[in-house]
Structure 1
Amino acid sequence: MTVLDLPRRATLPTADALTIYTDGYRTRFGQLGVFLRGDHAFAQLIRFALVGGLSNIGYLLLFLALYGEGAQLANLAGSVVSTTMANELHRRLTFHASGRVSWYTAQLEGGALALTGLAITSGAIAALEWGAPTLGDLAQAGAVLGVTAAVGTLRFLTLRLWVF
């Protein structure tokens, strides 16, 4: 068997091969996809925001579903479920750390950050209930989401620099 007869390994298509062509003009979708899958801080921030947005939607739905049982219980349940989901998505997708950081470690350290965020959001809810007791469900949920956005910024930096 000569070198020319050796079987070749299958290769994955390159980013250029996946680029979409329209009327002879190369679109930027292929380049954008490659960038968004990269490990640059800005790409990670975009993925972090997408995961955070999805988990906030889950949080909001659970918060509204459980609000009749009390705002604090709704906040706790929404925080636990959405944070567990977000920690795993951040480990796998946002920071590509599934090979470096175990599920347990991600949940433990991400959970510690979540408890800090829970304390802040719980304080915000208590302040809203005291200062604006007639505030409606959607307005209260919107205020809590605003607080979680600020907490989320600190969470991104901590996860990127410490956990993952």
Structure 2
Amino acid sequence: MLRAEWFDRFARALRYLRGDHAFAQLIRFALVGGASNIAYVLLFMAMSGVGSLVANAAGSIVSTVIANELHRRLTFRAAGRVGWFTAQWEGGGLALIGLLVSTAALGGLAFWAPGLGEIAQAVAVLAIMAAVGGMRFVALRGFVF
């Protein structure tokens, strides 16, 4: 009995996550972000022999292209409405804006709070990245897809 009940709950959760509700899309957005970060790390490590700047640029570009395509197909199910190039152009632009905002925020943090401890810095970095990710989700959901 418990096994059937667990399976039923699991099936309901999967149906919900496959839906087009904002929360279901947010969960898929986070999963795609995690997958693209893994792709970034793997490519960065594979290319580390050519230098960290080249590896970083290649990892950033490739992982952004992967994320934009997965968002188009999986997160927002917009493959029928939004073409590949549009998703890459607009999603890539949003990623670049996010990079600029997070870089400025981190620079401001270093300037205005130079004596911040390591744990406080880590919490601040996580908060900045979560805010930028949230803004990117809203922009992708509302304007791109």
Q: Match of 2:133? A: 152
Q: Aligned to 1:101, what secondary structure does the other structure show?
A: coil
With CA pairs under 8 Å and 6+ residues apart, which has the higher RCO, 1 or 2?
2
Report the identity percentage. Answer: 57
Question: Does 2:34 match 1:53?
Answer: yes
Q: Match of 1:104? A: 85
The aligned amino acid for 2:32 is: V
Residues 38-117 of structure 1 aligned to structure 2 (within 5 Å): 38-117=19-98
CA change 1:83–1:64 in 2 (3 A) is same
Deviation at 1:150, TM superposition (A): 4.3
TM-score, length-scaled by structure 1: 0.65
Question: How many residues are paired up?
Answer: 130
The question of whether the paired residues in 2 share the 8 Å contact of 1:79 and 1:118 is answered with no
The question of whether the paired residues in 2 share the 8 Å contact of 1:110 and 1:159 is answered with yes
TM-score, length-scaled by structure 2: 0.73
Distance in 1 between residues matched to 2:9 and 2:20, nearest whole Å? 19
User: Cα RMSD (Å) of the superposition?
Assistant: 3.1
Larger of the two Rg values belongs to structure: 1
Distance in 2 between residues matched to 1:65 and 1:148, nearest whole Å? 25
